[in-house]
């Protein structure tokens, strides 16, 4: 760890020198890039400086004790060592947390797609429950939420809903990919029997415009009149948009806005994120043999979590852990679950 401490200190101080260099200041692109890097290192640098100072104090006290030239000061040196060890342990844990290897996509906003699966109307209602869970969680974190597209079911649920969460959301929600299953008694079930239904969740890191270039000739855009529950017309103009990416066959539809232009913009944003995710999946597949993820597997059709209403239990099957505050979790209290998933992934990668 000491080598990593010295590396962080050296890099931060090198960045300070570079940012003070007139040549760097003249190159605004380089200046911004280096400023961002220094900002990202600032917290770990502050802890690294404290840790290096205490490590030096400990080494000095050990050397003086070993020399034994001044027996009267031996007790003082022992106290210095005890104090240093305690502080060093806390600083090392803090430094390890700050320098933990992270996915560069973790700071991105996300686009989440929820689709009702098996279970008919009950699945559509569960999809709406998941939508509410994620949007309430986002509100609690101070993230922004924007609905991109929706396909309502007649029962008040969703056949499909796509929405974005703005902020550093991907690092929090990236392990939500997969099939979520619910076990409960539907309101329409007179006999009180428990039904099982499901909905799928896909979490995509939102792509920047500069990262994904889509040629006009690769797009086919169809417009039509949007419809709501039961098929009734929502608008009297052709504002709904169906966008097809010809090379991949990916199709995105957006009809929530009354403006065709706004629907096109949202559809393009979803399309770019799907294309970015496609490239990401290819890279992860190539890396999977050498660095298997414990949580984020490649199979998004896998059942990852069960929400059991009779027992008020939420179970994540990947880490075999349960929580017994189902209603609070569905109301957005999701952080404890997300933290457990992140910790399990970290322990798997580090071998702890």
pLDDT of residue 199: 96
pLDDT of residue 190: 66
User: What share of the chain has pLDDT > 90, as a percent?
Assistant: 49
| Average of per-residue pLDDT across 79-103 | 82
From 109-118, 220-229, 290-299, the region with the lowest mean pLDDT: 290-299
Average pLDDT, the chain: 86
Domain ranges of the chain: 2-98, 104-288+296-350
Q: What is the pLDDT of residue 326?
A: 97
Cβ–Cβ under 8 Å, residues 164 and 110: yes
> E strand or H helix at 87, and its extent?
helix 74-98
Q: Which residue has the tokens 């109301």?
A: 331
Q: If 0-12 CB within 10 Å is exposed, 13-18 middle and 19+ buried, where does residue 183 land?
A: middle
- Give the pLDDT band of residue 341 (cuts 50, 70, 90): very high
- The dotted CATH code for 104-288+296-350 is 3.30.70.1660
pLDDT level of residue 124 (50, 70, 90 thresholds): very high
The answer to whether 144 and 130 are in contact (CB under 8 A) is no
> Which pLDDT does position 65 carry in this prediction?
75
Q: Give the per-residue pLDDT at 98.
A: 82
Residue with tokens 């994904």: 212
Between 181 and 223, name the one with better pLDDT. 181
Measured CA to CA in angstroms, residue 17 lies from 12, 23, 27, 42, 296 at distances of 9, 11, 15, 15, 40
In tens, the pLDDT along 107-123 reads 889 999 999 998 889 99
The answer, yes or no, to whether residue 288 has pLDDT greater than 60, is: no
Q: Positive or negative CA dihedral for 327, 330, 336, 340? A: positive
Q: Which of 158-167, 270-279, 304-313, 323-332 has the lowest mean pLDDT?
A: 270-279
Q: For 1-44, write each residue's pLDDT tens digit.
A: 888 899 999 999 999 999 999 999 999 888 988 998 898 899 99
Bridging pattern class, strands 303-308 and 178-184: parallel
pLDDT at 291: 44
Provide the pLDDT for residue 281. Answer: 78
Rounded Cα gap, residues 74 and 61, in angstroms:
9
Helix/strand/coil for 257: coil
Residue 351 and residue 334: Cα distance in Å, rounded?
Answer: 26
pLDDT on residue 24: 93
- What the block records as the tokens of 26 is 């003249």
Distance CA 134, CA 300 (A): 18
Model pLDDT for residues 156-205, shown as the tens digit of each residue: 899 999 999 999 899 999 999 999 999 999 876 767 889 999 999 999 98
- 94: region left, alpha or beta (phi > 0 left; psi from -120 to 50 alpha): alpha
Asked whether residue 300 carries a pLDDT value surpassing 50, the answer given is yes
């Amino acid at each position: 760890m000491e080598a990593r401490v010295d590396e962080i200190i050296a890099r931060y101080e090198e960045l300070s020198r570079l940012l003070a260099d007139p040549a760097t200041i003249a190159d605004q692109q380089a200046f911004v890039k280096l400023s961002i890097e220094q900002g990202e290192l600032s917290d770990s640098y502050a802890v690294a400086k404290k840790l290096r100072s205490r490590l030096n104090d400990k080494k000095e006290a050990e050397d003086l004790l070993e020399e034994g030239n001044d027996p009267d000061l031996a007790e003082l040196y022992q106290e210095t060592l005890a104090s240093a060890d305690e502080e060093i342990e806390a600083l090392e844990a803090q430094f390890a947390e700050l320098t933990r290897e992270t996915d560069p996509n973790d700071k991105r906003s996300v686009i989440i797609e929820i689709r009702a699966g098996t279970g008919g109307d009950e699945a559509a209602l569960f999809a709406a429950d998941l939508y509410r869970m994620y949007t309430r969680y986002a509100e609690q974190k101070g993230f922004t939420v924007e609905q991109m597209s929706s396909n309502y079911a007649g029962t008040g649920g969703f056949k499909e809903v796509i929405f974005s969460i703005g902020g550093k959301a991907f690092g929090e929600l990236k392990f939500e990919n997969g099939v979520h299953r619910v076990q409960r008694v539907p309101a329409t079930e007179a006999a009180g029997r428990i039904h099982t239904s499901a909905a799928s969740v896909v979490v995509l890191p939102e792509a920047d415009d500069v990262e994904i270039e889509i040629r006009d000739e690769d797009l086919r855009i169809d417009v039509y009149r949007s419809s709501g529950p039961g098929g009734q017309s929502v608008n009297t103009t052709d504002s709904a948009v169906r966008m097809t990416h010809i090379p991949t066959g990916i199709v995105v539809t957006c009809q929530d806005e009354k403006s065709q232009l706004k629907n096109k913009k949202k559809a393009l944003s979803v399309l770019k994120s799907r294309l970015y995710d496609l490239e990401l999946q290819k890279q992860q597949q190539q890396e999977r043999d050498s660095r298997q993820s414990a949580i984020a597997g490649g199979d998004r059709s896998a059942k990852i979590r069960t929400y059991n209403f009779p027992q008020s239990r939420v179970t994540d099957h990947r880490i075999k852990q349960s929580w017994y505050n189902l209603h609070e979790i569905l109301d957005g209290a999701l952080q404890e679950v997300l933290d457990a998933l992140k910790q399990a992934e970290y322990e798997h990668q580090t071998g702890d």
